[in-house]
Amino acid sequence: QVQLVQSGAEVRKPGASVRVSCKASGYTLNTYDISWIRQATGQGLEWMGWMNLISGDTDYALKFQGRVTMTRDPSIRTAYMELSSLGSEDTAVYFCARGFGWFDSWGQGTLVTVS
Amino acid sequence: DIMMTQSPDSLAVSLGERATINCRSSLAVFHTSSSRDYLTWYQQKAGHPPRLLIYWASTRGSGVPDRFSGSGSGTDFTLTITSLQAEDVAVYYCQQNFTAPPTFGGGTKVEIK
pLDDT score for B90 = 98
Average pLDDT, chain B: 97
pLDDT score for A31 = 76
Asked if residue B53 lies in contact with residue B78, where contact means CB atoms within 8 angstroms, the answer is no
Q: Does B93 touch chain A (CB under 8 A)?
A: yes
pLDDT digit string, tens, across residues A12-66: 999 999 999 999 998 877 778 999 999 999 899 999 999 988 888 999 999 999 9
Contact (CB<8Å) A95/B49: yes
Q: Does B68 touch chain A (CB under 8 A)?
A: no
High-pLDDT (> 70) share of chain A, % = 100
Residues 2 through 31 of chain B touching chain A, CB cutoff 8 Å:
none
Which one of A41, A103, A108 would you mutate to disrupt binding with B, by most B Cβ within 10 Å of its Cβ?
A103
C-alpha A9/C-alpha B95 separation (Å) is 27
**CA-based nearest distance A80→chain B, Å:** 18
3-state class of A29 per DSSP? helix
| Residue A3 pLDDT exceeds 90 | yes
Asked if residue A36 lies in contact with residue A53, where contact means CB atoms within 8 angstroms, the answer is no
Contact (CB<8Å) A102/B40: yes
- CA-CA distances (angstroms) from residue A87 to A21, A83, A91, B49, B106? 20, 10, 8, 23, 23
pLDDT score for A26 = 87
